[in-house]
Structure 1
Amino acid sequence: MPLLGFGTWTLRGELAVPAIRTALECGYRHVDTATMYRNEAEVGRALHESGVPRAEVFVTTKCPPSMAGRELETLQASLDRLGLDRVDLWLVHSPVRQGSTVDTWRAFVEARERGWARDIGVSNFEPALIDEVTEATGVTPAVNQIEWSPLLHRPSVVQAHRARGVVLEGYSGLRGGVLEHEVVTGIAADLERTPAQVVLRWHLQHDVVVIPRSTQRERIVANADLDGFELSQEQMAALDALGRA
């Protein structure tokens, strides 16, 4: 699973296809979508039009909790819209309120066994709920996707996931005012990089998956340009401290 992915939340219609295609052209090899985003067809079209071999792109989609009891049907519809025979990762979009989260997780395990999803995970789960579904089924979620940025950083959260062997994936990493924070802008100025590049590099150096989204080609390109620099230990510590500020 590539640490850097391209998020597609709010990308719909005519905005979606060119943005996703641009991301693939720029080297992104991980695309994140969801049934609730209502753009799986656009994601599938962009994948097809990009010309990038299917085997090179890691595709994630998610099942809304409202589809509890119809999980397999939901995934099949997602695959049809994406034009794929399987996804690389299928996530429970959030804990099930009307029904059983454990029963939903059992359906996810069945989907993996059928080969419809290469791996399965969750989103917006607390560690206790990860433990509950793991103990009930013997299958640990591969990934937990949660809101994450330097402003939300908690070492205990990172450790809780690593102790369970669960990959931490962050969404909304560039939101919430982090790009305007003086610590971030100061590091960006010192490195002659954008604030977004600094925040994304922080994720990568923590081995946390991050999925920035943009419709602007310049930002899509810049957000993928993360290999030519590295944050120092002091810079990483300063960014980490924002979560405790």
Structure 2
Amino acid sequence: MPLVGLGTWTATDQVASEAVKTALQLGYRHIDTAWQYRNGGAIGKGIKESGVPRSEIFLCDKLISTRHTRAEEALEETLEELGTDYRHLWLMHWPVPLNPEGNDWKLPKLPDGSPDYYTGTSSSPFTFVDTWLSMESAFRKYPSKHMASLATLEAGSVVPAVNQIEIHPQLPQDKVIEFCRQKNIAVVAYSPLGSPQSTVLTNPKLKTLAESKGNGIGVANLLINWALARGYGVIPKTTSPRRMTDNLKLVDLTEGEMQAIRDVGLSAPKRYCTPAWAAKGVFLDES
């Protein structure tokens, strides 16, 4: 799995297509998408127009929460939309089954505005463990070299391969990373820069550190290399060819510089991705 990939969240239609095409032509070989982004067709178009052989591209897709009861069907639909017959990584987008018959295809809600969870029936309860088992069933029908899946460690028989979570200096996720390392689970960071509004991106100390590295290195590139040095992959989202190129630049960081980046982040801890169900205790925030 290439450690630096292209995130495509919020990128749709021609923008997504051009971004993928450009990224691949610049040297990227890891593209991250999800059915929930509704850009599969554009992603597939960008891959084809890039001229890069499909066999060289690591493709990640995700199972949307409203399709947890129909995982295999969703798998087939997304493959068709992407215009490919395989992907290397298939993730459960969130470990939260939502009502497949609710009032929204993506985030159904109850009349009071709370998430419309799918829990099955009293005689046949349904949780994300059941989702994993159905994904595992689909997994066995495809060549294992072309697909890997992630879910709970306490069910099923397929060893989890990847955990994709929010990680950046303001949310270092030490405990989760160490747990995954012990279980031989690869980690990929989404939002590795925090967000465009992250205070870390404008921090004077990090700006000075970036400038000292030369070669046009910026704070965003420092954060990407901070992540790589910690031993996990990143999928920063951008549609800018210049930023795509910058994101691939490698920078050596000393132990002191690694700690300085960490200290700046922890001075203003922040989780940027906070879905409605996080308040229900579905996700454990180590902070």
Q: TM-score, normalised by structure 2?
A: 0.77
The answer as to 2:227 corresponding to 1:203 is: yes
What does residue 166 of structure 2 align with?
147
What does residue 245 of structure 2 align with?
221
RMSD, aligned CA: 1.6
Q: 1:35·1:61 contact (CA, 8 Å) conserved in 2?
A: yes
Q: 1:154·1:243 contact (CA, 8 Å) conserved in 2?
A: no
* 1:119 shift after superposition: 3.1
* Residues 33-72 of structure 1 mapped to structure 2, 5 A cutoff: 33-72=33-72
What does residue 207 of structure 2 align with?
185
More strand by share: 1
CA distance in 2, matches of 1:244, 1:63: 32
More helix by share: 1
Q: 1:147·1:170 contact (CA, 8 Å) conserved in 2?
A: yes
* Residues 27-38 of structure 1 mapped to structure 2, 5 A cutoff: 27-38=27-38
The answer as to 2:149 corresponding to 1:121 is: yes
Other structure's SS at 2:189 match:
strand
Out of 255, 264, 267, the residue aligned to residue 233 of structure 1 is 255
Q: 1:144·1:168 contact (CA, 8 Å) conserved in 2?
A: yes
* 1:243 shift after superposition: 4.8
Other structure's SS at 1:74 match:
helix
Q: 2:200·2:265 contact (CA, 8 Å) conserved in 1?
A: no
CA distance in 2, matches of 1:109, 1:93: 15
Q: 1:3·1:207 contact (CA, 8 Å) conserved in 2?
A: no
Q: 1:108·1:120 contact (CA, 8 Å) conserved in 2?
A: no
Other structure's SS at 1:4 match:
coil
Out of 139, 157, 175, the residue aligned to residue 176 of structure 2 is 157
* 1:157 shift after superposition: 2.4
Aligned CA distance change for structure 1 residues 243 and 139 (closer, same or farther; 3 Å): farther
CA distance in 1, matches of 2:161, 2:172: 21
What does residue 126 of structure 1 align with?
none
Residue by residue over 1:84-107, the C-alpha shift from the partner in whole angstroms, topping out at 9 and shown as x without a partner, is 111100000001242321111112
Aligned CA distance change for structure 1 residues 10 and 113 (closer, same or farther; 3 Å): same
Other structure's SS at 1:87 match:
coil
* 1:191 shift after superposition: 1.0
Q: 1:21·1:49 contact (CA, 8 Å) conserved in 2?
A: yes
CA distance in 2, matches of 1:121, 1:243: 31
CA distance in 2, matches of 1:17, 1:100: 35
What does residue 104 of structure 1 align with?
131
Other structure's SS at 1:91 match:
strand
Residue by residue over 1:161-204, the C-alpha shift from the partner in whole angstroms, topping out at 9 and shown as x without a partner, is 11121111111112133311234222212112111111111111
Residue by residue over 1:81-130, the C-alpha shift from the partner in whole angstroms, topping out at 9 and shown as x without a partner, is 111111100000001242321111112112221116733334xxxxxxx5
Gaps of 5+ in 2: 98-117, 119-125, 268-287
Shifted more, 67-76 versus 174-183: the winner is 174-183
Identity %: 36
Aligned CA distance change for structure 1 residues 116 and 94 (closer, same or farther; 3 Å): farther
Other structure's SS at 2:69 match:
coil
The alignment covers a number of residue pairs equal to 234
Other structure's SS at 1:137 match:
coil
CA distance in 2, matches of 1:24, 1:95: 30
CA distance in 2, matches of 1:154, 1:107: 29
